[in-house]
């Protein structure tokens, strides 16, 4: 049985991704959402490189590299909606895209915001 050093393997994968951005994008994101790298880049340009919800760039890091914006999609139809930062994407997921819960959370925050003033 051949053992591979995790550090060396991670470096090998990182170098391959850097040398093959189209293939890396397709294997990591594009396949799941049916987008090409060019379509993703176009969406990113349309959104000025920021999250469609909070209007901030992605801040999540992987090592020393900032992650790309996440591809948000409807979990029933699988239709792509837009690009979100990790925080907003995970938040929507936690609320299971339920508008009632999201609106209730907004009312809750508003209620306590008014009381703190």
Question: DSSP per residue over 81-100, as a string?
Answer: EEEE-HHHHHHHHHTTT-HH
Model pLDDT for residues 9-24, shown as the tens digit of each residue: 677 777 766 777 666 5
Q: Note every long-range contact of 20-23, with CB atoms under 8 Å and residues 24 or more positions apart, other chains counting.
A: none
Q: What is the reported pTM?
A: 0.72
* Separation CA 114–CA 77 (nearest Å): 38
With a CB cutoff of 8 Å and minimum separation 6, the contacts of 42 are none
User: CATH classification of 6-115 is 1.10.287.610, yes or no?
Assistant: no
Dump pLDDT digits (tens) for 45-55: 999 999 999 99
What's the confidence (pLDDT) of residue 34?
80
pLDDT digits (tens, 9 = 90+) for 53-110: 999 999 988 888 888 899 998 888 888 999 999 999 999 999 999 999 999 999 999 9
């Amino acid at each position: 049985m051949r053992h591979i050093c995790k550090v060396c393997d991670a470096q090998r994968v990182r170098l391959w991704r850097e040398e093959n951005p189209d293939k890396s994008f397709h294997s990591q994101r594009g396949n799941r959402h049916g987008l090409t790298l060019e379509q993703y880049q176009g969406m990113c340009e349309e959104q000025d490189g920021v999250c469609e919800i909070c209007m901030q760039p992605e801040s999540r890091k992987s090592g020393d590299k900032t992650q790309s914006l996440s591809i948000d999609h409807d979990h029933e139809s699988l239709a792509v909606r837009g690009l979100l930062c990790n925080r907003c994407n995970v938040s929507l997921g936690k609320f299971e895209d339920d508008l009632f819960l999201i609106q209730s959370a907004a009312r809750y925050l508003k209620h306590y915001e008014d009381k703190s003033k």
